[in-house]
């Protein structure tokens, strides 16, 4: 890894910006208006046509229930058997745990009721999901109580309730009909594999179909023997990453506050950054350029949305639709960079951040391998920051929204659709977003405003285009600093791809396991 550039002696901007203007037809005010519309219209269209808020809420509940089911599954397979002795009812600790679980269930129930109340078609989906979750985690009494308030239940759910005490009369199904429904090839469509098979196994046991129950139990055990070690290894790697990231932060703290005088401490390095100009300016210094290019890129995404809407009647209708959107965004980003580049081709200039400093030599260019090492180091430092951000937001009752592709991953996707989403979020989208946000927008603002104002504006724009303001602001700040630290845009591209890849792997792992 190339060492960061030494701080300059003079912390003021070394030179003024040359006065350069784009050669545009017509009044410049018209182009400023076009730039504003290019940024505003895609955001308005995104908010107005975002697959309805109720769908986003349902996807969020589905994701949370699957995560809770998965945690219960891990704990069931890893916890030792309960010790005999004091009755559970007399144990104050267990009593408090039960009270917390009851309160948590009540909050989930109120949330599901609110989602169903806002729906127009089949307003029982959320509560049916909650009912299946209760059966899968062995709380049949909660499932029965929930069934009593739902007037119309689907046949799959009614089959799962057969054999339970106090089942409402309206949901009673004869034993032969229930067994036939449980064996239906499309049974439990939309539920997670584990929720479906676990609840179905318990139903087979109540219906005395022991052969089918044993077959499902054997299948679940075989999957547990693969899933539990895999997730335990993943959790161990995450803890190692958090430890390494914490060690990096601790080392930076020591160098900053306890280092010898004149040491290149992290705080001194950050304070030393100035708006400084690259030796070869990649773009003209016209202040209209960043806004016009950013608006043009957002308009490209809007065009992709409109094309998908014309083809399928909805946006992001599949994994291939997500890949198409990401591809259009990446091609538009490349076009923006090429259009405003001072010397074509513009991508080599967009990929590096040459800084003017006291050294008469150019900043050395880092290789792709060095950029990857830098991205891994920043990723390790990012893990504890993101964990703390999510924890702080949770303490204040702020829940982070689900990523737009989570609803697709939680659905019934074939391998082709899943692979398309993975390629889009791990490779294509990071390339397009980093070319615009860091290689174009951040650097153009940085030349005029300095590091911190440019970082704040870029991160705010980045987070407003994503579902959660706080976490995505922190992510964008990390991407900007990674670019600033190494001077290579490949560092932030690889960091962005690594983060998206990790998030996608966790989402797919929970959805499939």
Residue pLDDT, tens place only, 465-502: 887 778 899 999 999 999 988 888 999 999 999 999 99
Do both 422 and 321 map to the same domain?
yes
CB count in 10 Å sphere of residue 384: 18
Q: What is the pLDDT of residue 309?
A: 74
Residues 6+ apart with CB under 8 A from 140: 134, 164, 202
Q: How confident is the model at residue 103 (pLDDT cuts 50, 70, 90)?
A: confident
Residue 283: C-alpha distances to residues 115, 117, 343 (Å): 49, 53, 8
Do the Cβ atoms of 343 and 280 come closer than 8 Å? yes
Domain that holds residue 383: 273-512
Q: What is the mean pLDDT of the chain?
A: 79
Total domains, the chain: 2
Domain end call among 208, 240, 265: 208
Q: What is the pLDDT of residue 480?
A: 93
- Whether residue 233 is contained in a domain is answered as no
Q: What is the pLDDT of residue 382?
A: 92
Which of 14-18, 222-226, 322-326 is predicted with the least confidence, judged by mean pLDDT?
A: 14-18
Domain end call among 164, 186, 208: 208
Do both 289 and 203 map to the same domain?
no
Q: What is the pLDDT of residue 331?
A: 94
Q: How confident is the model at residue 263 (pLDDT cuts 50, 70, 90)?
A: low
Q: Tokens 């010790």 appear where?
A: 83
**DSSP code of residue 341:** B
Q: What is the pLDDT of residue 484?
A: 85
Q: What is the pLDDT of residue 356?
A: 47
The per-residue pLDDT for range 19-35, each reduced to its tens digit, is 788 888 888 999 999 99
Do both 195 and 285 map to the same domain?
no
Given a cut of 90, whether residue 236 has pLDDT beyond it is: no
Do both 310 and 181 map to the same domain?
no
Q: What is the pLDDT of residue 132?
A: 87
Do both 277 and 167 map to the same domain?
no
Q: Is 132 exposed, middle or buried (0-12, 13-18, 19+ CB in 10 A)?
A: buried
CA–CA dist 321, 311 (Å, integer) = 10
**DSSP code of residue 260:** P
- Whether residue 344 is contained in a domain is answered as yes
Do both 343 and 196 map to the same domain?
no
Q: What is the pLDDT of residue 428?
A: 94
- Whether residue 289 is contained in a domain is answered as yes
Q: What is the pLDDT of residue 9?
A: 44
Which of 20-34, 131-145, 161-175, 403-417 is predicted with the least confidence, judged by mean pLDDT?
A: 403-417
Q: What is the pLDDT of residue 431?
A: 94
Do both 490 and 347 map to the same domain?
yes
Query: Any bridge partners for residue 488, and if so which?
Result: 352
Q: What is the pLDDT of residue 354?
A: 60
Do both 201 and 337 map to the same domain?
no
CB count in 10 Å sphere of residue 397: 6
Given a cut of 70, whether residue 298 has pLDDT beyond it is: yes
CA–CA dist 150, 123 (Å, integer) = 10
Residues 6+ apart with CB under 8 A from 328: 300, 301, 303, 304, 307
Given a cut of 60, whether residue 87 has pLDDT beyond it is: no
Q: Can you tell me the mean pLDDT for 445-459?
A: 87
Give me Rg for the CA atoms of the chain.
27
Q: Which residue has the higher pLDDT, 321 or 425?
A: 425
* Percent of all residues in the chain with a pLDDT value above 90, rounded to a whole number: 18
Q: Which residue has the higher pLDDT, 398 or 235?
A: 235
Do the Cβ atoms of 420 and 320 come closer than 8 Å? yes
Q: Can you tell me the mean pLDDT for 238-257?
A: 84
- Whether residue 405 is contained in a domain is answered as yes
Residue 365: C-alpha distances to residues 2, 51, 368, 376 (Å): 8, 44, 10, 18
Given a cut of 50, whether residue 362 has pLDDT beyond it is: no
Q: Which residue has the higher pLDDT, 169 or 288?
A: 288
Q: What is the pLDDT of residue 234?
A: 83
Q: What is the pLDDT of residue 491?
A: 93
Residues in the chain: 513
- Whether residue 87 is contained in a domain is answered as yes
Q: What is the pLDDT of residue 295?
A: 92
- Whether residue 170 is contained in a domain is answered as yes
Given a cut of 70, whether residue 37 has pLDDT beyond it is: yes
- Whether residue 244 is contained in a domain is answered as no
Q: How confident is the model at residue 380 (pLDDT cuts 50, 70, 90)?
A: very high
Given a cut of 60, whether residue 395 has pLDDT beyond it is: yes
Do both 411 and 284 map to the same domain?
yes
Q: Tokens 């160098």 appear where?
A: 255
Two tokens at 422? 């993975």
Do the Cβ atoms of 272 and 7 come closer than 8 Å? yes
Q: How confident is the model at residue 56 (pLDDT cuts 50, 70, 90)?
A: low
Q: Can you tell me the mean pLDDT for 1-29?
A: 63
Minimal CA–CA distance to 297: which of 326, 324, 321? 326
Q: How confident is the model at residue 361 (pLDDT cuts 50, 70, 90)?
A: very low
Question: Residue 44 half-sphere exposure, CB side, CA atoms within 13 Å?
Answer: 7
- Whether residue 311 is contained in a domain is answered as yes
Residues 6+ apart with CB under 8 A from 52: none
Given a cut of 90, whether residue 1 has pLDDT beyond it is: no
Given a cut of 80, whether residue 405 has pLDDT beyond it is: no
Domain end call among 208, 225, 246: 208
Q: How confident is the model at residue 105 (pLDDT cuts 50, 70, 90)?
A: confident
Do the Cβ atoms of 474 and 460 come closer than 8 Å? no
Minimal CA–CA distance to 440: which of 277, 291, 273, 274? 291
**DSSP code of residue 90:** G
Do both 106 and 197 map to the same domain?
yes
Q: What is the pLDDT of residue 49?
A: 56
CA–CA dist 241, 384 (Å, integer) = 9
The per-residue pLDDT for range 191-223, each reduced to its tens digit, is 778 888 888 998 888 888 889 889 988 988 888
């Amino acid at each position: 890894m190339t060492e960061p550039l030494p701080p300059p002696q003079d912390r003021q901007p070394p030179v003024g910006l040359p006065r350069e203007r784009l050669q545009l037809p017509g009044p410049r005010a018209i182009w400023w208006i076009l730039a504003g519309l290019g940024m505003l219209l895609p955001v308005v269209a995104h908010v107005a046509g975002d697959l309805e808020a109720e769908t986003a809420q349902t996807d969020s509940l589905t994701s949370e229930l699957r995560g809770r089911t998965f945690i219960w599954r891990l704990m069931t397979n890893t916890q030792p058997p309960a010790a005999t002795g004091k009755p559970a009812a007399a144990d104050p600790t267990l009593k408090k745990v039960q009270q917390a679980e009851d309160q948590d269930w009540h909050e989930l129930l109120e949330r599901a009721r609110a989602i169903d109340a806002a729906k127009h078609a089949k307003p029982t989906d959320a509560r049916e999901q909650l009912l299946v979750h209760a059966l899968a985690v062995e709380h049949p009494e909660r499932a029965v109580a929930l069934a009593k308030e739902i007037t119309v239940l689907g046949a799959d759910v009614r089959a799962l309730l057969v054999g339970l005490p106090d089942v409402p009369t309206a949901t009673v199904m004869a034993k032969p009909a229930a067994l036939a429904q449980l064996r239906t090839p499309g049974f439990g469509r939309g539920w997670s594999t584990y929720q479906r098979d676990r609840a179905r196994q318990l139903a087979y046991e109540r219906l005395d179909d022991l052969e089918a129950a044993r077959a499902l139990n054997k299948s679940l055990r075989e999957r547990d023997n693969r899933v539990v070690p895999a997730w335990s290894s993943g959790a161990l790697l995450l803890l190692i990453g958090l430890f390494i990231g914490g060690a990096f932060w601790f080392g930076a703290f020591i160098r900053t506050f306890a280092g010898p005088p004149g040491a290149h401490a992290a705080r001194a390095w950050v304070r030393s950054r100035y708006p400084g100009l690259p030796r070869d300016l990649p773009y003209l210094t016209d202040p209209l350029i960043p806004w016009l290019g950013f608006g043009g890129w957002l308009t490209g995404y809007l065009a992709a949305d409109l094309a998908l809407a014309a083809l399928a009647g909805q946006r992001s209708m599949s994994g291939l639709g997500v890949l198409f959107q990401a591809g259009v965004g990446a091609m538009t980003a490349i076009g923006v960079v090429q259009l405003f580049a001072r010397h074509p081709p513009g991508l080599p200039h967009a990929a590096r951040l040459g800084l003017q400093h006291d050294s008469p030599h150019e900043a050395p260019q880092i290789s792709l391998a060095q950029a990857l090492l830098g991205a891994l180091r920043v990723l390790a430092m990012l893990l504890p920051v993101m964990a703390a951000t999510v924890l702080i937001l949770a303490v204040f009752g702020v829940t982070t929204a689900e990523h737009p592709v989570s609803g697709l991953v939680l659905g019934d996707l074939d391998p082709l659709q899943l692979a398309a989403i993975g390629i889009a979020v791990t490779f294509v989208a990071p390339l397009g977003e980093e070319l615009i946000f860091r290689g174009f927008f951040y650097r153009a603002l940085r030349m005029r405003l300095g590091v911190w104002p440019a970082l704040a504006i870029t991160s705010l724009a980045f987070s407003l285009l994503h579902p959660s303001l706080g976490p995505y602001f922190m992510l964008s700040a990390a991407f900007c600093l990674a670019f600033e630290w190494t001077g290579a845009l490949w560092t932030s591209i690889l960091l962005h791809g690594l983060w998206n890849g990790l998030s996608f792997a966790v989402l797919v792992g929970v959805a499939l396991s």
